[in-house]
Chains A and B, each alone.
Chain A
Amino acid sequence: MMPDDEQILAEVNLMLVEIIGEDYVLGLHIGMDTYFDADLELESIEFVRLAAALTEHYGEQVNFVAFLADRQIDEIINLTVGDVVRHVAGCMAISTAGAVHG
């Protein structure tokens, strides 16, 4: 069954808490509009961990490393948690469609 955006957001949230650290995230609401750069101050190495966590959870069809590699500098600065949620949902939809037709 396809997870909806709300469910993916909750799952991505758990991954971010794991990566960033519970103590910090406690005082912070992570929603679809939360910015990785300005709000979470996510570091390069933490993006690597997030990519690994996404692939581990959703499978190889979610390739966040390739997603990041295509983003221009302004897109990276403006990248929100919602962008990642929609990216995951998009990858899942494509792979589900592929499974149906294939």
Chain B
Amino acid sequence: MSRFLFVVPPLVGHTMPTVAVGAKLADRGHQVAWAAHAETVGALLPRGSRLIPVKADVSGQTPAQLQQRWQGLQRVAAFQFLWRDFLLPLATSMVPGVAAAVDEFRPDVLVADQQALAGALVARQRGLPWATSASTSSELTDQFATMPTLGAWIHQLQADFQHGFGVTDPVDLRFSEHLVLVFTTEALVGSLAAFPGHYAFVGPSIGTRTGTSAFPWEWLDPDRQHIVVSLGTVNTEAGGRFFATAVEAVASLTNRLQAILVAPPDLVGVVPDHILVRDFVPLLDLLPHLHAVICHGGHNTVCEALTHAVPLVVAPIRDQQPVVARQVVDAGAGARVHFGRVDASGLRNAITTVLDTPSYRAAARRVQASFAAAGGADAAADHLEKLACTSGRRNSAELGGRDEFFEGTGQMHGQLTGVID
């Protein structure tokens, strides 16, 4: 029995992989909790999960307000905003709450998402064994290879943040020295030979979703192909032009396909009968019926599609998405279009090419097999158990009787923390 604390940012894509891993650990009899912004992350956790609320405030702005500002920015400006105006202020605001959560829950192992730098800082300050949760592989690749000053700039920002909390030996908090869990495989990343041994490429960690949304299954015509157009949870509002382009792109394809747009219906307006617009869809349930997914290159959407061997058309917008898009194209599992520039005929061409060229589906199947072999959330749980064992032996030797003591206090503290129901 060990205790695992997950520290995640108020971002859906970064929280979801930890949910499935946490569920596996709980199934194996471990104690699991999340330290996070309750309003954003609470709804993503399964019933009965323990959530220790952490203030996650960035200059008095809510995560939603920040996303609004972020959406207006392009590549490098968005990257600057992400680090300077979001991740570091977020980390600074989360440190006291994460420290309190560690005092309350007494984890044996802390798991920090790469965008929850407060988790890494607190773990190092407390001498806790900790793991990085790399929900995407984008931080592992050099996405601005032509701009080396950007990497140096991130290191400086992180050093300033750590100095502010009295850390004298600042490190790159995106990468644990104990264990880095990466939720993808070599089928997308390419050769893993250059990565150190404590990097574990476990494949996507996909659980069952809570509150699965309804879907008019009878609308699906078995004689036509089906595609989903989705821009993920963060980018929907900014996608007005893209959704309009998608509607125009598939308008003439009524005889061969049906398209499901995941978008606010009033953003898209009136559409032909073979197009369905829904705020939410149960994507995991839909995937077995799909022939292609058109998306922004969010890592979770891409991995969910490829887990079902569904090929993609990827239109990356910002952040890690160009990296993920390139991985999909390099793997042969999809085509790439330019989010800001693609027109209806270009998008239609990309969609029909992916649907009609068998090599895309075949490549998606290869990625699917690679994911299955990597083990996903179960493999991640194995690695975390090993880390807890190593540290448990060390702590028992140092402190003696520690586990019994903390079991008792843990139960008491459990009543103080928020329990999702």
Interface residues of A (CB under 8 A from B): 20-21, 23-24, 37-38, 41-45, 47-48, 51, 65, 68-74, 76-77
Contacts and interface: CB of A to CB of B under 8 A. Distances in A.
Interface stretch (B29-37, B38-46, B51-59, B337-345): B337-345
B149 A69 contact: yes
Contacts of B341: 20-21, 23-24, 41
Given A24-B341, A44-B322, A73 B150 contact: yes
Contacts of B147: 44, 47, 68-69, 71, 73, 76
Interface of B: 73-77, 79-80, 143-150, 153, 322, 326, 338, 340-341, 343, 346
Contacts of B73: 38
Nearest to B154: A73
Contacts of B148: 69
B380 to A, nearest CB: 30
Given A23-B346, A24-B341, A41-B75, A73 B146 contact: no
B146 A37 contact: no
Contact of B340 (A41, A44, A51, A70): A41
A37 B76 contact: yes
B70 to A, nearest CB: 14
Contacts of B149: 69-73, 76
A43 B149 CA distance: 16
A42 B150 contact: no
19 contacts: A37-B76, A37-B77, A38-B74, A41-B74, A41-B341, A44-B143, A44-B322, A48-B145, A69-B148, A70-B149, A71-B149, A73-B76, A73-B79, A73-B149, A73-B150, A76-B147, A76-B149, A76-B150, A77-B80
A65 B338 CA distance: 24
A68 to B, nearest CB: 5
Contacts of A70: 149
B336 to A, nearest CB: 10
A24 B146 contact: no
Contacts of A23: 341, 343, 346
A63 B326 CA distance: 26
A43 B98 CA distance: 36
B77 A77 contact: yes
Contacts of B143: 44
A80 to B, nearest CB: 13
CB-CB nearest 8 A-B residue pairs: A24-B341, A47-B146, A77-B77, A37-B74, A37-B76, A77-B76, A41-B74, A41-B340
Given A69-B147, A70-B149, A73-B150, 6 more contacts: A37-B77, A38-B74, A68-B146, A71-B149, A73-B153, A76-B147
B153 A72 contact: yes
Contact of B76 (A24, A69, A76): A76
A51 to B, nearest CB: 7
Contact of B75 (A43, A69, A74): A43
A90 B74 CA distance: 28
A34 to B, nearest CB: 13
A44 B80 contact: no
B80 A43 contact: no
A65 B150 CA distance: 14
A74 B346 CA distance: 33
A32 B76 CA distance: 20
A42 B341 CA distance: 11
A74 to B, nearest CB: 8
A14 B74 CA distance: 23
A76 B75 CA distance: 10
A17 B194 CA distance: 37
Nearest to B346: A23
Contacts of A21: 338, 341
A42 B145 CA distance: 14
A48 B79 CA distance: 19
A98 to B, nearest CB: 26
Contacts of A76: 76, 147, 149-150
Nearest to A69: B148
A77 to B, nearest CB: 5
A49 B213 CA distance: 44
A90 B153 CA distance: 27
Nearest to B73: A38
Given A21-B341, A43-B322, A48 B75 contact: no
A68 B147 CA distance: 6
Contacts of A65: 146
B154 to A, nearest CB: 9
